[in-house]
Structure 1
Amino acid sequence: MTTRPRISSSGNWVAGIAAVGLFAVMAAVFLTATIPAPTGFEEGSITASIGYAMFDLVELADHASEPFLVAFLLIAVVLDAALDGSVMLAKREEESDVATDGGRSNTGGRN
């Protein structure tokens, strides 16, 4: 037979009061925060800027970007290839000719 759960009053009330206080402080911060309006991008081609950043030609770009974009993309491709290779190596083949039992025949010891 199951019983109805009861609220335990022997717990630590300080932790509960601290949690409610933390919630009140965070709610006050979020409700009173001012967020500026989005400004968007200035005139120019964002796509061209990304292309210039890929080849470290940031002085030709309309928008500021990071000059190490190609290194980041190469690392991403190498890590993706490593993940694909590990999945391929870990995949079991259904029909395998590899004898994992020491080379015994599959007849169960009967010849």
Structure 2
Amino acid sequence: MTTKPQLNDDLNLLPGLAALGLFVVLAAVFLQTEFGPPQGFPADASIVASIGYAMFNLDFGAVPGESFLVAFMVMAVTLDVAIDAAVYLAQREDEGSFLQSAASSARGAVTGEGVRTDGGADDTEGER
């Protein structure tokens, strides 16, 4: 026999009220903010080239911009760390380090032992 769902009465309403208050404050700020008139780019300006020049802090672009070299380097280092962490986390624990597993597979190629696809079981005598 199933029972009818009941309303949970012991809720803490403080987080919900805090979120509602934050929404009201942000809505008031955004509604009272005045933005300047939109500005366009010159008709003969290459926007893509200007973005590239601004990224590397070069003054060759037709559209002036700020220097984004520091932001570019921070993004590059962050993405490099993320890729290194993904490779590190993707390794199996029983294999050890990448260099050890690469060395053992190279030793297997030299001694004539191939890489086993059955998880390393030794019950495959005579199959080569």
Shared fold per TM-score greater than 0.5: no
> TM-score scaled to structure 2, two decimals?
0.40
> TM-score scaled to structure 1, two decimals?
0.44
| Bigger RCO of structures 1 and 2 (CA < 8 A, at least 6 apart) | 1
